[in-house]
Each structure stands twice: as C-alpha cells, then as structure tokens.
Amino acid sequence: MTLMTAENQTAERTKIKVNQLNLYYGDNHALHNIDLEIEQNAIAALIGPSGCGKSTFLRTLNRMNDLIDSVRVSGNIYVDGQNIYDSSTDVVSLRKKVGMVFQRPNPFPMSIYDNIAYGPRIHGTRKKAVLDEIVERSLQQAALWDEVKDRLNKSALGLSGGQQQRLCIARLLAVEPDVLLMDEPTSALDPISTLKVEELTQVLKDKYTIIIVTHNMQQAARISDTTAFFLNGVLVETDKTDKIFTTPSDQRTEDYITGRFG
Ligand SMILES: Nc1ncnc2c1ncn2[C@@H]1O[C@H](COP(=O)(O)OP(=O)(O)OP(=O)(O)O)[C@@H](O)[C@H]1O
Ligand SMILES: [Mg+2]
C-alpha cells in the first residue's frame, strides 16, 4: 500500500490545469499568460468587467474558439492530465466531456424529449427504452422533470426562459460530461428561476466540475468554492471565494468587488 502524500492528493483533485495560456483574435491579445488550476467537484466562478476575456477563457476549455478563424492560442490546458491543445485531441469527444451552457437558453426547435435525446442519438444510442431512461434522468437532474413530464412531446420553445435554461442543462447532462461550462447562465432569468439554477449547481457539483461566469457578485459568493478575477485579459487573482470577497490580495480585486470600477 502506498501512502498518499499531500502533494499527490492535490494532484488528484485537480481537474483542469491551465499553463501560460495566451489567446489572440488577430492582433488583439485577449488573454495574457493565464495560469489557473480548477479542482474537481467544485464550482469555480469567473468574474470581471465586460470585455475582460471571461467568455474567451471559458471557450478555451473545450476549444470552442477553434471555430473562430482569427484565433491563435499558445500555452497548454490539461483536462485530467491530457493536454487538450495537443494535435491528437479528438475535439468532438472533448466537447462531450467539457460541455457548455450559454447566456441565452438555446433549445432546438423540436420537442422537449427530442432536445434531450439529440446528443445521445448523435453518439449512437437508438433504443427507445434507453433514450426514455436518459431523458427522464437528465430532466430529473436538471430539476425540470416534474414541470414537463406530461408534455415531453410538446415544443421546447413553449417553455419559459427559466425552464428553457434548465432544459439546456438537461441536454448537456444527457451526454454525460465531466465538466460544465456556464456562461452567465442566469442573466436572462427571473429571481426564482435564478435560484433554481443556483440550487441545481450545488447538487451537480457532487458529480461534475463547474466553471461559471457571472456578473452577479452575490451569486459568485453564494455558489462558488473558488473565484477568479479577470481584468483586461489578465487573471489578477484567484483564491477561495470567501477570501476573495472578504480580504482579496490585490487592490484591483477589492476595487472591483466593492463596485469602485467595472
Ligand atoms: N469572436 C470574436 N472575435 C474577435 N474578438 C473577440 C471575439 N470575441 C471576443 N472578442 C474580444 O475579446 C475580448 C474579450 O471578450 P470576451 O467576450 O471574452 O469578454 P467577457 O469578459 O466575456 O465580456 P462580457 O462580460 O461582456 O461577456 C474583447 O476585447 C472582445 O472584443
Ligand atoms: Mg462574456
């Protein structure tokens, strides 16, 4: 039997490790030398003023920026120890493993059932019984099942905004990702739907690693374990959320969270 050292225990809990990441949109140097580690089964919040690179950074984690022509990236990002910027990376499986929810809910114009079954079908699941099971489980996990179980064959576009956002979370969970990237997932929602999504994150973190961008400081403080503050493409500071919101190390963080700029 080997003894666990503190060091390899830490290594085991690291889900994502970002190492000297730089990103350019043409001449615009949007991310500067980002170093960041994200723990598994925890929630990391990304905060910072508009245009500071939060969404850009989030998209580097599943290589969504590859879809933009002008983008150039240097540095490395390891997910479970695998460098996702390695040329051998299968981007389709990466995006299955590291899934994303966007600011505006974007259900497909099809039934609630088909929205959830879409991903599993693409990945080869055909049996109705299996799909039924996935649809129910995913909707349960996203705290939407009770509200929609009697209208699974109705259009997803008939759901409220808050329900649509939970549907998009369920659609993501249906393909069994490991990491959930959420870009301002509640900014278009009313307070009750926001609360539901926030509560959901607390349940989901037992199974997933969650990285959430938010402009809502109270939300970051309520739900996240760690917080990273970005400014002008630079990661100014990252620490335990309590620490960031009580005694941040950097004056710029303090100015931002107390509303002095941004
Ligand atoms: N598709 C793109 N093409 C070119 N430049 C882009 C693109 N997306 C973002 N940028 C630029 O990268 C920088 C960071 O933008 P990003 O969207 O990451 O900021 P953000 O922190 O998410 O802002 P917000 O809080 O407003 O969503 C900005 O200067 C922006 O103009
Ligand atoms: Mg953004």
Looking up residue 95, the CATH number of its domain turns out to be 3.40.50.300
HEC-encoded secondary structure of the chain: CCCCCHHHHHHHHEEEEEEEEEEEECCEEEEEEEEEEEECCCEEEEECCCCCCHHHHHHHCCCHHHHCCCEEEEEEEEECCEECCCCCCCHHHHHHHEEEECCCCCCCCCEHHHHHHHHHHHCCCCCHHHHHHHHHHHHHHCCCHHHHCCCCCCEHHHCCHHHHHHHHHHHHHCCCCCEEEEECCCCCCCHHHHHHHHHHHHHHCCCCEEEEECCCHHHHHHHCCEEEEEECCEEEEEEEHHHHHHCCCCHHHHHHHCCCCC
Ligand 1 atom closest to 59 (CA): 18
Instruction: Flag whether the pTM goes above 0.85.
Output: yes
pLDDT digit string (tens) for 30-46? Answer: 999 999 999 999 999 99
**pLDDT score of 88:** 93
Residue 203 placed within a domain: yes
Inside any domain, residue 185: yes
Q: Does 1 map to a domain?
A: no
Average pLDDT rounded to a whole number, residues 125-154: 96
Nearest-ligand number for the alpha carbon of 183: 2
User: Has residue 3 been placed in a domain?
Assistant: no
pLDDT band at 11 (very low <50, low <70, confident <90, very high): low
From CA 194, how far away is CA 118, in angstroms rounded? 25
Q: How far is the CA of 104 from the centre of ligand 2 (A)?
A: 11
Query: In Å, how far from its chain's centre is CA 181?
Result: 1
Say whether pLDDT at 2 is over 80. no
Atom of ligand 1 nearest to the CA of 58: 18
Cα 51 to middle of ligand 2, angstroms? 7
Dihedral pair phi/psi, residue 208, rounded to 5°: -125, 165
pLDDT band for position 103 (cuts 50, 70, 90): confident
Is 8 inside any structural domain?
no
What range defines the domain where residue 147 resides? 14-257
Q: For residue 259, what pLDDT is reported?
A: 87
Confidence at residue 7, expressed as pLDDT on a 0 to 100 scale: 47
CA distances from 235 to 18, 34, 65, 117, 190 (A): 11, 6, 19, 38, 30
Task: Pick the ligand that lies closest to the CA of residue 25.
Answer: 1
Measured in Å, residue 53 CA sits from the centre of ligand 1 at 6
Residue 4 belongs to some domain of the structure: no
To 10 degrees, the CA torsion angle through 38, 42, 44, 45? 180
Tell me, in angstroms, the distance from the centre of ligand 1 to residue 25's CA: 9
Dist. CA 145–CA 135, nearest whole Å: 9
The tens digit of pLDDT for each residue in 206-225 reads 999 999 999 999 999 999 99
For residue 181, the CA-to-ligand 1 centroid distance in Å is 16
Burial, 68: exposed, middle or buried (Cβ in 10 Å; 0-12, 13-18, 19+)? exposed
Residue 9 pLDDT > 70: no
Mean pLDDT value of segment 134-148: 94
Average pLDDT over residues 74-78: 97
Nearest protein Cα to ligand 1, atom 18: 53
Instruction: Give the ligand at the shortest distance from the Cα of 53.
Output: 1
- Which residues have CB under 6 Å of ligand 1? 25, 28, 30, 48, 50-56, 68
Indicate the top mutation candidate among 21, 23, 28, 59 to test ligand 1's pocket, ranked by most ligand atoms within 8 A of CB.
Answer: 28
Query: Which residue has the least CA distance to atom 31 on ligand 1?
Result: 51
Name the phi and psi angles at 81, rounded to 5. Answer: 80, -5
CA of 214 to the centre of ligand 2 (A): 9
pLDDT in tens, 176-205: 999 999 999 998 888 988 998 999 999 999
Phi, psi (degrees; rounded to nearest 5) at 26: 60, -120
Distance between CA 42 and CA 209 in Å, rounded? 5
Over residues 67-88, mean pLDDT: 95
What is the number of structural domains in the chain? 1
pLDDT over threshold 70, residue 55: yes
